[in-house]
Amino acid sequence: AFDAAREAAGKIGDPQLRSALLLQVESAQRQYESAARAADRAVNAVQRGVAGLNSAVGALSTAQRLQAQQAYDLAKATVDALTLRAPIAGVVQPGGTRTAAPTDLAGLLGAAGGGPAGIDSSALAPVQGGPPPGVDDAVPAGGRVSAGTPVLTIVDTGALGLLAEVDETDVLLVRAGLAGSVELDAVTGATYDARVRSVDVLPTTSARGGVTYRVRLALGAGRLGEGEAAPIPRPGMNAVVHLRVREAADAVTVPASAVFSADGRDAVWVVRDGKADQVPVTVGVQGQDLVQILSGVQAGDRVVVRGADQVRDGQELG
């Protein structure tokens, strides 16, 4: 039993844990050998007629109990040493994580008008990592594992977050603590609460070639349209974040489609006496659907909200 425990301890990669287990094995073996010698002395004393049978049986029983207890302790210590304990609570998933293949260079060159002459486009295709789609790469029970092979992945789903990319033209309006709402492609009609945790100082290059900054958000609970609780998202899902960077109360607003640029200024078409009148405006808070008008348009004015690029000054409108 002691030799088997030493062999099991030798397979432990952590040197400190391996040394501690070996010391425990040595201590248990010394205690057992001491109890065995006491039992042998009791048996010899009985044989010589010095001691009674009861004392010999008691010594043997003590040695057997000690041996059984030490065997249990060694087995438990071996199991504990070979048990992986994650520093976080989470969901265990067999195998490792899979990353999406990078955008292939051939596709990028094709979108830009074609690649260099004389180069086979297949040579620019990305190298696919891991097994093909549909193949389970989890290590089966009893399977061989080499160095660096992920056996399992622990995913902490207790506190989900979001990683968003904000354009350089808007990032100065984003700050920690800002509230927002999130819509997931996987949960149609649901809205999740979110709050900005941090904004990166260094920029990154977006997929469209512009400069963006990463914004990290904490994801809260979600609600469906009927007030029902929305399902908990899974890591890696796509989402759209709406941040409320500025708010204006009792403001004059027009649809965003009504505002256009003319001679370097913002303007709208106001319908007066049935004719279109181009009016320069000063915009304030701009949302996805509505734009605040600080000057140029009054509450109640009629404006053109569609086809502003096709309207001419003085044109009669029905």
Highest mean pLDDT among 5-19, 43-57, 145-159, 281-295: 281-295
**215 has which bridge partners?**
164, 199
pLDDT > 70: percent of the chain: 69
Question: Is the pLDDT assigned to residue 45 strictly greater than 50?
Answer: yes
pTM: 0.50
Question: Is the pLDDT assigned to residue 236 strictly greater than 80?
Answer: yes
- Cα angle 115, 120, 124 (rounded to 5 degrees) comes to 70
The reply to whether 43 and 73 lie within a common domain is: yes
208 within domain boundaries: yes
145 within domain boundaries: no
The reply to whether 43 and 16 lie within a common domain is: yes
| Across 18-38, average pLDDT | 74
Domain boundary among 243, 266, 290: 243
The pLDDT-based confidence of 58 (bands split at 50, 70, 90) is low
Task: Tell me the C-alpha distance between 76 and 69, whole Å.
Answer: 11
The reply to whether 6 and 44 lie within a common domain is: yes
139 within domain boundaries: no
Higher pLDDT, 48 or 10: 10
DSSP SS3 for 28: helix
Return the pLDDT at 81: 66
Higher pLDDT, 115 or 77: 77
- Least confident segment among 20-24, 161-165, 235-239: 20-24
Return the pLDDT at 207: 62
**Torsion angles phi and psi, residue 247, rounded to 5:** -135, 145
Domain boundary among 220, 243, 266: 243
**Torsion angles phi and psi, residue 217, rounded to 5:** -125, 150
Task: Tell me the C-alpha distance between 193 and 221, whole Å.
Answer: 6
DSSP 231-253: PPP-TT--EEEEE-----SS--E
Return the pLDDT at 31: 73
**Torsion angles phi and psi, residue 309, rounded to 5:** -75, -10
Task: Tell me the C-alpha distance between 283 and 294, whole Å.
Answer: 6
The reply to whether 285 and 231 lie within a common domain is: no
58 within domain boundaries: yes
What CATH number did the domain enclosing 212 receive? 2.40.30.170
Return the pLDDT at 101: 47
Task: Tell me the C-alpha distance between 161 and 195, whole Å.
Answer: 9
106 within domain boundaries: no
The reply to whether 30 and 73 lie within a common domain is: yes
Domain boundary among 61, 81, 101: 81
Tokens 């349209």 correspond to what residue? 225
Cβ atoms of 292 and 282 closer than 8 Å: no
Tokens 């904004």 correspond to what residue? 199
107 within domain boundaries: no
DSSP SS3 for 107: helix
Structure-block tokens of residue 181 = 């709402």
The reply to whether 230 and 302 lie within a common domain is: no
Q: Nearest CA to 167 among 210, 198, 208, 216?
A: 210
The reply to whether 229 and 167 lie within a common domain is: yes
The reply to whether 230 and 258 lie within a common domain is: no
The reply to whether 270 and 232 lie within a common domain is: no
Cβ atoms of 275 and 311 closer than 8 Å: no
- Least confident segment among 12-21, 65-74, 248-257: 65-74
The predicted-structure confidence for 161-216, as pLDDT tens digits, reads as follows 999 988 887 888 899 999 999 999 999 889 999 999 999 999 987 666 678 899 99
Task: Tell me the C-alpha distance between 53 and 261, whole Å.
Answer: 111
The predicted-structure confidence for 78-135, as pLDDT tens digits, reads as follows 667 666 666 667 777 787 776 554 445 545 555 455 555 555 555 445 545 556 666 6
Other CB atoms closer than 10 Å to residue 255's CB: what's the count? 14
What CATH number did the domain enclosing 278 receive? 2.40.420.20
The reply to whether 6 and 73 lie within a common domain is: yes
Return the pLDDT at 211: 87
- Quote the radius of gyration of the chain (alpha carbons, Å): 37
The reply to whether 9 and 48 lie within a common domain is: yes
100 within domain boundaries: no
Cβ atoms of 256 and 289 closer than 8 Å: yes
Higher pLDDT, 15 or 292: 292
pLDDT > 90: percent of the chain: 16
Determine the structural domain holding residue 75 and report its residue range.
2-81
The reply to whether 237 and 166 lie within a common domain is: yes
| Across 35-46, average pLDDT | 67
Other CB atoms closer than 10 Å to residue 192's CB: what's the count? 23
| Across 138-154, average pLDDT | 79
Q: Nearest CA to 182 among 172, 198, 166, 194?
A: 194
92 within domain boundaries: no
Q: Residues in the chain, how many? A: 318
Task: Tell me the C-alpha distance between 273 and 318, whole Å.
Answer: 10
The domain tally of the chain equals: 3
Return the pLDDT at 202: 92
Return the pLDDT at 130: 57
DSSP H stretches of helix in 120-274: none
CA distances from 155 to 90, 91, 96, 127, 141 (A): 5, 5, 11, 27, 21
